[in-house]
Structure formats: structure tokens, C-alpha cells
Amino acid sequence: MAPFVFQGNDAPRGPSGKGRDNRDRRSRPRRDFTFRFPHTSERPLLAPKRETTPELLTADDEKLAPKFASLDALSDSEEAEMDFSDSSDDESRPRKRRAVASDDKDGDSKPKPAPAPTPKWSNPDPYTVLPPPDETTGKKLDVVKLIRKARLATSSAPKQEDAVAENHDFISLGNMDGLGQEEEEDKRESPPANAPRGPKSMANQNQTQPSQDSAVLQRKRTRDDEPKGFSTKVGKPMSRFHSDGSVLYAWKALSPQSATPWTDGMSALHMGTRLHQEVLSFYNWIKPHDFEHLVRQDLIQRLETVFKERYPGVQLHAFGSFASGLYLPIADVDLVLMSRDFTRSGKRNFGERPGQIYAFSAFIKNAGIAVPGSIESIAHARVPIIKFVDKVTGLRVDLSFDNDSGVKANETFRMWREQYPAMPVIVSVIKQFLLIRGLNEVPTGGLGGFSITCLVASLLQHMPRREELNLGKILLNFFDYYGNIFRYEEVGIRMNPPMFFNKQFGNRDRLTIEDPNNPDNDISGGTKEIALVFRTFSQAFTILSRRMVELANSEDAKGSILGSIIAANYEEYMIQRFQLREVYESASRFDIYRNPPPPPVSSPPQYSQPPPPLPPGPPPTIRAA
């Protein structure tokens, strides 16, 4: 019987019993529409409509070899080893593999008595009958050991060939061109001479950027004479200072000879004069050279040229330590990009939204002026900035937008340098002292460069004016005053006019320095580790005083006094300066600074020695009266 039946409906009839086509359909019988499943033997899968392929059906007759031995022939004993017999060695043995216990190492095999039959459990009395011996007294089976011993060794018989898998029935038509296989391989190995060699790196780089040769890429090397890549350390620094204010491991000196590179040729003098000369020698060694300043200025010009191509009318200004000249060899370059509207009216319309910061960061990346992977956008900060590493010089750059507070401070720094010539010298020593201890970063609670400059300037403002000042004495007074005398919990510092004020409100656990250009701004409010900073100042005063007494009582004429507090590994300074010098000597745009211009034509000739005297003239003639 059919699984289901469809019964047709009668055609629609009109009032006269006829259909829509006016035909009488009363005499037509109903029709049944039936559907039947085909027979199983009639399915296409079982219909023998193709040739037999015995090579595809050979796997049906083969049976997989057993992977594990029988459970009855196993033993979990540590001493018993499993020896499986091979049917090819002795045909008399049964085909099924059995586990045979090997003899002892001495060769003496003793028959072991058969184990006692284990009584079966048959509904015992739970109060009088002990549990079965196979659970308590009997030996427990180690299932893991049984599995490991039951695994049979893989047969070393050669694998049977499969004609279909090996494509034995494939018929090669050969090379249609008549060329041999060897000639074809030779053609593959030797490409044509005019074949393209792939895209060149930085092919779409802006033409305003100078080309970077291999010498520039390989100029930075480590102490093991190995190439050193550009630094990509950007972003918020880690809290890496020690709780006791000691020198960080990265700045530990490699040897006493290289720890104080500024003390070459020091002479034995009075301890006060000796410290003064050593402080001055350190400043002359650490201050930026002329080529360093030129390369940093060139960096600003290159960046401004690229920025103006995308944003016409913008201006790029430097501020901070570079603009004031009070920077260390590895210091960052602080820049601010001002839009045309901000320069004219002071209206900030650039870098105010996070989307603008990210868009400008993508522009720097596409322009190819930064080391790949070094760009970091800090768009949600109070002052949004972009950090990156310059590809040519390897200098770290901090870029901000539409903010003139740092530019206004540049004039203040210039005024202080003219009033207090000793300020740059003392600032360089204090910066290096805090740098090697990890206490110079404001995000981690350290003392920033602007705050250090204000502390030194405030000290010099309240010192008596003298024609000749001893730099060593000023340094000792700085460490003694701020480390032992000054109370930042009660007193604040005002720069203009120079004075101190009582802290009646605010953060009493922070240092308070009033911004000389904005009285409402506290430039040192972020230094949360000020207690540790001032404690290290107190320790520095003690160490310097003891070192001077020690050298005064000894015969060491070349011992360093300043090295007791700032001796460190200055290899990174050497590498950075070598890198900037390579840029300065390799770039053609610095030729005007390297070679002096020829003298003008109208100038008189210069002689290394005075000219020889003229020969005597003829004797004068005397006329007769």
C-alpha cells in the first residue's frame, strides 16, 4: 500500500453544475494521486552500473593489527618483563601472542606456587564476615602499568603499496615543447636579467625625508660590538626606582675607570677647589656638543616640513630642556604643534578630540618618519601627546598640540641663565643624580626637569651675590638645604618675586612650586615621591662630605669626589653621541657647518709669516746749488 495518497478535488461548479468552461463534469470520476517509495534494490547506490575496482576494496579484507595484548596475559609486576613471541620464528606456538615472564638476572628460575583461589562473594553476613581479599588484602592492579605493558610493538614489516595512492596508472604526456627536464630546471634557477626584484622598502616614502643608508642603520652598537636597533621605549615609564634611592642596576658602572669619564687629568688641589673643578669638568663633558644641537634642530625642521604639507600654516616649536639647553645626551625632544587659528586668536581647534590625535598618529606612521612600532598616542590625557622615535636620529619625541605654556617658559629659562651662570652646571649634576636612580620621571612620582630648574634657581636667588662663586659649594648647599633644612610640608616656593610662603591649604605631602608664568599652576604637584627624593639629597650631602675628608687624608691625587654620587655606566651616552655624529657627518645638508666658507675675494691675503723686507733702493742724487 502507498505511504500516502492524494485525493483530487472536483472542479468548481457553477449553479448549473458545470465548470468554469461551461463543460459538464458530473460524469467524470475522481482520480487518486499516489506516491510509492522505490524498492531498496532499485536504489542507484546499489545498482551495478560501474566497473569493479578491486584496488579500492582491498581494505575490506584487511584487519587492523591489535594494539594491546590480552588482559589475561598481563602482569603489573615491576620485575616481570613482557616477551612476545613472533609467529614467524616458531610456527608451533599459537597465533595469539602471550606474555611470558622473563627469568631473573642470575638465571635461576624457581616455580612459583599458584595463588590461592579467591572466594566469591555470596551474600555474607556483614557483621561476621570480613571483606573479600581482593579489595583489602589482595594485591591491587595498576591500570596504567597494564596499559603500558599491553601496548604491542609496531610491526616493522614494509608498508604495502597502494596503486591508487601512488598514482601508478598515471601516464605522463611529457614536455609538449620537446625540451628536457634538465633544461626546464635550469630555466627556473636562472631568472631573466630584466626580471623585477620585488618592491623596495619605503618606496612610497615622502621625498622630503632623507634617504637612510646602511651606515646609519648600523652605527649604533653595543659593548660587544653587535648592532643595536633603535629604541622604542615610549609611553608611561614603569615604577623602577628603589625604595632606598640607590642606583639602578642598568646604570651600574662596568669598571671604576669608565665610571667617571670626566676626571681625566685632574690635579691634586684643595678639596673645595677640587670639587669645583670636577663639577665644571662634568658639565663640559655632559653638555651638548655643537653637532648634537644641529642634528636636533634639523629634526625639528624635517618634522615641520612634513607637517606643513598635510596641514598648511602650522608651526612647530621646541620647549623644555632642549629649548633651554639644559638637556642630557639621551633626553627627549619636547615639541608643540600650533595651528594657524591658535597662533592668531588663541583658539584651540587641533588635537582637542581623541579622533584627531589618532588621525595624526596614522599620518606620522604613513609618512615614514618614525621607527615602526614606536608610535604611541595618549589621547585621553589632560594634555594629549603623541610619542614616537625618529627613524634617522633615534631620538625620542614628545609631540603636543595648541599649548603655549612651554614656549612661554623658554624666555624664563633664558633670563635665569643670564642672571645665574652657575644654574646650568648645577642642574646638569642634579638631573644626572636623579636619572641613575629612576627618580626623574613625573608619571612615576619623580622630580621633573622644570621643577629641578626651579629648585636651583630659587636657591641661587636667596644666596648672597659674589663675583666668584664656587660650584662645589653651591652643590653642597643644594643637597644640604633641600635634604636637611627645607620643609616642603609647611613651605611653598614662589619664583616671581623670589620668596617662600606658608602652605595653609593644598597637598601638604607634596612639594609646591608656583609656576612663574601662571600663579594658579603648581608645577611640582605630581611628584608624589618627594620624600624619597629629598632623602636622597640628604644622603648625597653626607656622602660628598665624607669623600672629601677621605681624599684629604689620603695621597690619592686623582680620586673623584663627584663619582661617589653619580658614577655610572655612561655607555648609552657614547652610543647616542656616536649615532648623532654619524648623521652629522653623512648628511649633505650639514656641509655648510663642517667646511668653513672661503674668504672673500676683496680681503687681503693672509700670511703665516711676515713678508720679507724690500731690497734697498738706489742712493739719492744731490743737486748742485
> Is it the case that residue 84 has pLDDT exceeding 50?
no
CA distance 89 to 535: 88
- Residue 111 — pLDDT band, cuts 50, 70, 90? low
Q: If you search the block for the grid coordinates 591491587, which residue do you land on? A: 140
Identity of the residue numbered 493? I
Residue 185 has pLDDT above 70, yes or no: no
So what's the pLDDT on residue 280? 93
Q: Return d(Cα 316, Cα 469) in angstroms, integer.
A: 38
pTM for this one?
Answer: 0.60
Average pLDDT, the chain: 75
Name the residue type at position 587: A
pLDDT at 62 over 70: no
Reported as a single tens digit per residue, the pLDDT across 506-531 is 678 899 999 998 888 899 988 999 99
**Which tens digits make up the pLDDT trace of 552-565?**
888 776 789 999 99
All structural domains of the chain with their residue ranges: 249-286+421-573, 290-407
**Cα 498–Cα 501–Cα 503 angle in degrees, nearest 5:** 145
523 vs 527: CA distance, rounded Å: 9
Is residue 567 over pLDDT 90? yes
pLDDT above 80: residue 32: no
What is the chain's Cα-based Rg? 47
User: Is 301 in contact with 497 (CB distance < 8 Å)?
Assistant: no
DSSP 82-137: EEPPPTTT-TTS-SS---EEPPPTTS---PPPPPPPPPPP-S--TTTSPPPTTTTT
pLDDT computed for residue 619 by the predictor: 61
Q: What is the pLDDT of residues 321-379, one digit of tens each?
A: 999 888 999 999 999 999 988 988 888 877 778 899 999 999 999 999 999 999 999 88
Model confidence at 98: pLDDT above 50: no
- In terms of CATH architecture, what is 249-286+421-573? Orthogonal Bundle (1.10)
Span 448-494, pLDDT tens digits: 999 999 999 999 999 887 756 899 999 999 999 999 999 999 999 99
Q: Ranked by mean pLDDT, which of 54-58, 318-322, 589-593 comes out on top?
A: 318-322
Mean pLDDT for the stretch of residues 229-247 = 65
Q: What's residue 405's pLDDT?
A: 86
Which pLDDT belongs to residue 415?
A: 92
pLDDT in tens, 125-155: 666 666 655 555 556 667 667 676 666 544 4
CATH superfamily of 290-407: Beta Polymerase, domain 2 (3.30.460.10)
Return the pLDDT at 119: 57
pLDDT interval class at 118 (50, 70, 90): low
Which is higher by pLDDT, 217 or 42? 42
pLDDT at 166: 59
Asked whether this chain's domains 249-286+421-573 and 290-407 adopt the same fold, the reply is no
Position 363 scores a pLDDT of: 93
Residue percentage of the chain with pLDDT more than 90: 38
